[in-house]
Amino acid sequence: MNSNIRVRLAPSPTGSLHIGTARTGLFNYLFAKKIGGTFVLRIEDTDLERSKPTFEKDILEHLTWLGITWDEGPYRQSERLDIYEKYLIQLFEQGDVYYCFCREEELEIERQEMMTRGIAPKYSGRCRSISSEDARRRITQGELSVIRFKMPETRIIFQDMIRGGVEFDTSLFGDVVIAKNLRIPLYNFAVVVDDFEMNISHVIRGEDHISNTPKQIALQKALGFTTPEYAHLPLILDKNRAKLSKRFNAVSILEYKNTGYLPNALFNFIGLLGWHPSASDTELLTQDQLIAQFDISRVQKAGAIFDIEKLNWMNAHYIKEKTPEELAVFLGSFVPEEWTKHKEKLIRIASLERERMKRLSEFTDLARFFFDMQEYDPQLLVWKTMSSETVASNLRDVADILGVYDGTWGSAALESLIMPLTESRGRGEVLWPLRVALSGQSHSPGPFEIADILGKEDSLVRIASALQKLTQQK
């Protein structure tokens, strides 16, 4: 293992794990695994009002479900307040931070004035001149304040592993707020301390954080920290190349799971959101293949297209790859509880229906007729221009053949029994009415496979019911 390479995923437990965070976690995971580095999980839970244990539980469970495992953690910022306080005190002692007592309405007026004058809005620095003694007195008296960092007015340039050289003029930022008080750090400060303390060598995150990077580099320099390598991943876009709507971006991994997507399908799909391998054109890659082929230099700068049709196609592929036994286990949470009592039957139906599924949630509707025959229109039994009398005649002959058969009941045996009848009557004329009689569906697996699973008695009962429908139709 390359002990010098350390990456991290740092989600906030203010919501469920969604596609964007999962993609960031996956790229960090692939990067670490490819070069033998360490993948650290850190929970950024200093937002006490919005952070919830239930969201942390969701994040941990669904990272694991996806197959994104971490080597260290989870660390929690809420358990590291002493560390942040130590570095805030250091910044005060160096004269790099100060207490700001400006009210929100004052700052808004200031912002509007600057915009009216055509100036990029930033904090004016009016509280910089307040002495430390005066600041302590005002805090003791209960006056509200925040801690601001004296942003140096310079140009910060860093090399992004995806975007190349990136440059910012920090004079445009103004003095940024880095903490509410010594015990409540804000994002830009806490992340700098954590990355240093945890020896993070590479920060791989979404491009929405790119404007935070120069602020964090300025803090690193003030604290005497080393600066990690940065890589900012492209935005996730819809098929029209617009910013991904909440419809998909805010959809949690739990919802994809509950809709019937397999973890390895999502792992594969998310791994190709903004990255593609050089070794081949195939888009179907196992976890090991993704790790082996991952190269962060091949991450694209342009937005990554979220194509739900591709995800459905991938999911259908991985469903087909599952053994019937494996598939039945996944299907257990999608079907009525009563069905799970018939384990062998469920396995056989899974084997039969897996070719027709894009999502596991479709299985219940596809397989319902095996457990509960629904009403259907008798006209559905008719193949093309057949008369009802001919349909009924063919079904009676099939029933007679099956009724006297006392051999092993199976699809191959049933096919050998019935197919000779199709030579004189017509394939569609015999098999269509039989399939509909057994399933009540316009689309379903073949009649021999259905009859095999239903068994002789149930198959004959359904054929008799179809004949009764045809009689009542006259």
DSSP letters of 418-458?
HHHHHHHH-HHHHHHHHHHHHH--SS-S-HHHHHHHH-HHH
Size (the chain), residues: 474
246 in catalytic set: yes
What value does the mean pLDDT take over residues 261-288? 93
Q: Backbone dihedral region of 73: left (phi > 0), alpha (psi from -120 to 50 degrees) or beta?
A: left
Eight-class DSSP state of 130: S
Using alpha carbons, select from 201, 196, 214, 333 the residue that is nearest to residue 262. Answer: 333
Helix axes 388-404, 456-473, angle to 10 degrees: 160
Whole-model pTM: value is 0.92
What values do phi and psi take at 160, rounded to 5?
A: -90, 135
- Domain boundaries defined on the chain: 81-233, 246-322, 323-367, 373-473
Q: Is 153 helix (H, G, I), strand (E, B) or coil?
A: coil
What value does the mean pLDDT take over residues 243-272? 86
Peptide bond into 53 cis (omega under 30): no
Q: Which CATH number fits domain 246-322: 1.10.3080.10, 1.10.1160.10, 1.20.120.80, 3.30.360.10?
A: 1.10.1160.10
What value does the mean pLDDT take over residues 163-168? 97
Distance between CA 30 and CA 358 in Å, rounded? 27
The pLDDT assigned to 250 comes to 55
Q: Looking at 60-96, which runs of residues are DSSP E strands?
A: 72-76
- Is the per-residue pLDDT at 249 higher than 60? no
The pLDDT assigned to 247 comes to 53
Using alpha carbons, select from 286, 278, 357, 287 the residue that is nearest to residue 324. Answer: 357
Question: Percent of the chain at pLDDT above 70?
Answer: 97
The pLDDT assigned to 243 comes to 76
Buried b / exposed e along 1-11 (16+ C-beta atoms within 10 A): eeeebbbbbbb
pLDDT digits (tens, 9 = 90+) for 198-240: 999 999 999 999 999 999 999 999 999 999 999 999 999 988 8
The pLDDT assigned to 423 comes to 95
246, 341, 384, 474: the catalytic one is 246
Q: Which helix (H) or strand (E) holds 216?
A: helix 213-223
The pLDDT assigned to 1 comes to 57
Helix axes 187-197, 213-223, angle to 10 degrees: 60
Distance between CA 308 and CA 116 in Å, rounded? 44
Chain centre to alpha carbon of residue 219: 33
Strand pairing of 229-233 and 164-169? unpaired
Whether the Cβ atoms of residue 101 and residue 134 lie closer than 8 Å to each other: no
pLDDT digits (tens, 9 = 90+) for 344-388: 999 999 999 999 999 999 999 999 999 999 999 999 999 999 999
pLDDT digits (tens, 9 = 90+) for 121-163: 999 999 999 999 999 999 999 999 999 999 999 999 999 999 9
Here the tokens at position 401 are 């053949």
- Is the per-residue pLDDT at 390 higher than 80? yes
Longest Cα–Cα distance in the chain: 105
Supply the DSSP string of 268-336, one letter for each residue: HHHHTSSB--SS-S-----HHHHHHH--GGGB-SSPEE--HHHHHHHHHHHHHHS-HHHHHHHHTTTS-
Residue type, 113: E
- Is the per-residue pLDDT at 2 higher than 70? no
Supply the DSSP string of 224-244, one letter for each residue: TPPPPEEEEEPPEE-TTSSBP
Number of Cβ within a 10 Å radius of residue 151: 22
Strand pairing of 202-206 and 229-233? parallel
Range with the poorest average pLDDT among 105-119, 316-330, 450-464: 105-119
Eight-class DSSP state of 384: T
Strand pairing of 146-149 and 97-100? antiparallel
Using alpha carbons, select from 255, 306, 290, 213 the residue that is nearest to residue 20. Answer: 306
The pLDDT assigned to 474 comes to 63
Here the tokens at position 424 are 């004189």
Fold of 373-473: Arc Repressor Mutant, subunit A (1.10.10)
Here the tokens at position 97 are 């931070």
Alpha-carbon radius of gyration of the chain = 32
Here the tokens at position 17 are 């794990």
Domain 81-233: assigned CATH number? 3.40.50.620
Here the tokens at position 466 are 């179809």
Say whether 373-473 and 246-322 share the same fold.
no
Q: Which residues are CB-contacts of 254 (< 8 A; sequence separation ≥ 6)?
A: 16, 17, 58, 62
**Helix, strand, coil percent content, the chain, rounded in steps of 5:** 55, 15, 30
- Is the per-residue pLDDT at 38 higher than 60? yes
Number of Cβ within a 10 Å radius of residue 105: 8
Eight-class DSSP state of 392: H
